[in-house]
Chains A and B, each alone.
Chain A
Amino acid sequence: MIDRRALLRLAAGAGTASLVAACGWDGGNAVRPLLLDISRFNDWMGEKVFFSKNRLAREYPIAERTAGLPSYFISPTMPMLENPGAWRLQVGGLVREPQSLSLDQLQAMPRTSYTVKHHCVEGWSAIATWHGVPLSAVAERCGMLPQARYVRFDSFDSGYSNGWDLASAMHPQTILAYGMNDNPLPPTHGAPLRLYSPTKLGYKMTKYLVSLTFAAERPGGYWEDQGYPWFGGV
């Protein structure tokens, strides 16, 4: 399969790379533009080649739910609202009628439930049931303008945010989730409201939502600005 000479070359290459990495050199600004271009091409592949607004992610029977779904947040302690009753979701940007929606108002809107597989960028996956309102229904309610091409989601978890393309945001399985596994959304998973879609990797689904903004320019994101793929499709 691999001869001794090739193995020695491989070892020399790996050794040099390890030494460079151990010294903390990651390519710096010399390598960054190239990697950014490739990352954008990768995003383009996900958005234009693989993604379809009509294709639904597979749903699973409730019996296949995973016992425990790991939870993540950025803050040193779990983000909790001091006054949950005062919480509102601010919807603004390129819309005719900006909204300030309470949880009751969101729960009165069309409800979607599905049991799907969650894929984390770290390599694990788990199945859970999510309940919420389709984001397309919120966009319709506030009168999204045709100039809107992206959506920015902001949370109260240490300024965590994500940017989404409009096609992904309007996908029928993209919801603002207020429930999980037949119960209200727990604080460990982003209460009172989080973004959810089975077509995206976990870090794209903003928890602890406070606002969503329709925009014409592509917004950044907490992890996306630090090297994670912007599209983040499964």
Chain B
Amino acid sequence: MNIADTLKRIEAAGGRVLTPRTNIGRFFGVALIVAVIYFVGQILFVAIPVSGTGNPQRAIYLLFFIINLPAVPFRLFFPGASPEVALAVACFGWGAVFYLGGVLRRRLSARRLTRA
């Protein structure tokens, strides 16, 4: 029986398959996705005509605000850093958040399985 069949059997029995992932891939992958989302937002910000309510502009700025949140401590410690550097830090910050989130989730899952 190959691995795929084994995994299917575990899932069919109600078990949860923890897909093996490389944590470092998650770190850089999330950072890259956040950077792409930022630049898509920037393109949309320029492309979308200003509406009567201004909601699209505010919504895209909310997106920028959320993306930049992990860089808040960095900007407080290094106020002279350029916005480009702060954006890079923010992207890697989200990578770190998801990396640590993944580690935590796996540990909790492992604990649950062990208890079961």
| Chain A residues with a Cβ under 8 A of chain B | 1, 3, 21, 26-29, 31-32, 35-36, 38-39, 42, 45, 49-50, 52, 55, 58, 117, 119, 121-123, 223, 225-229, 234
- Decide if A226 touches B57 in the complex (CB within 8 Å): yes
- Decide if A58 touches B55 in the complex (CB within 8 Å): no
| Complexed CA–CA distance, A212 and B45 (Å) | 29
CB-CB contacts below 8 Å: B69-83 with A: 72, 75-76, 79-80, 82-83
| Complexed CA–CA distance, A12 and B16 (Å) | 25
- Decide if B80 touches A26 in the complex (CB within 8 Å): no
- Decide if B57 touches A228 in the complex (CB within 8 Å): yes
5 new A-B contacts, CB < 8 A, other than A27-B55, A39-B61, are A38-B58, A55-B79, A119-B83, A123-B46, A227-B55
The residue that A121 contacts in the complex, of B45, B56, B65, B82, with Cβ under 8 A, is B45
What B residues does A49 contact at CB under 8 A?
72, 76
What B residues does A3 contact at CB under 8 A?
19
- Decide if B42 touches A227 in the complex (CB within 8 Å): no
Interface size counted on chain B using CB atoms at 8 A: 27
B110 shortest CB reach to chain A, Å: 20
The residue that A29 contacts in the complex, of B45, B53, B62, B76, with Cβ under 8 A, is B53
| Complexed CA–CA distance, A121 and B41 (Å) | 12
B15 within 8 A of A: no
- Decide if A35 touches B58 in the complex (CB within 8 Å): yes
- Decide if A26 touches B62 in the complex (CB within 8 Å): no
Given A1-B29, A122-B46, A38–B65 Cβ distance below 8 Å? yes
Query: Can you list, as one digit per residue, whether each of B51-69 has a CB less than 8 Å from chain A (1) or not (0)?
Result: 1011111110110010000
Most buried by B among A31, A35, A36: A35
What A residues does B58 contact at CB under 8 A?
32, 35-36, 38-39, 227
Closest partner residue, chain B, to A224 (CB atom): B54
- Decide if B76 touches A32 in the complex (CB within 8 Å): no
- Decide if B61 touches A42 in the complex (CB within 8 Å): yes
